Amino acid sequence: MYEVVYLPTARRQLEAIVDYIAVELSAPDAALDFIEALDAAARSLSEMPYRHPIYHSRFAIPEEIRWMPVKRYNLFYRIYEEEKRVEIRRIHHQLKQTGA
């Protein structure tokens, strides 16, 4: 089992997302659903963190970052194998896909 931890930046992003959904969109139930979905996704990383793909950026990233979709957001994380730890680094809204 891996320990799953949120970096401070990811915590702030989560708080901002939940605040936006609950307050700005006046959808507190949707905010709660998002928290529950994100929590379940994060907990699942403790057992199988390698099942999600590596994030390929057009910029050089010196470390392997993985990502997983959670509702309309992407959760970005890094695995520290020796410490058996997963760090959740960022939570970003998915970019809108345009049709070809």
Token output for 47: 């057992």
Greatest mean pLDDT among 26-30, 53-57, 94-98:
26-30
pLDDT at 61: 72
**Res 95 pLDDT > 80:** no
Q: Is the pTM of this model over 0.85?
A: yes
Band of residue 57 on the pLDDT scale cut at 50, 70, 90: confident
Q: What kind of architecture, by CATH, is found in domain 3-93? A: 2-Layer Sandwich (3.30)
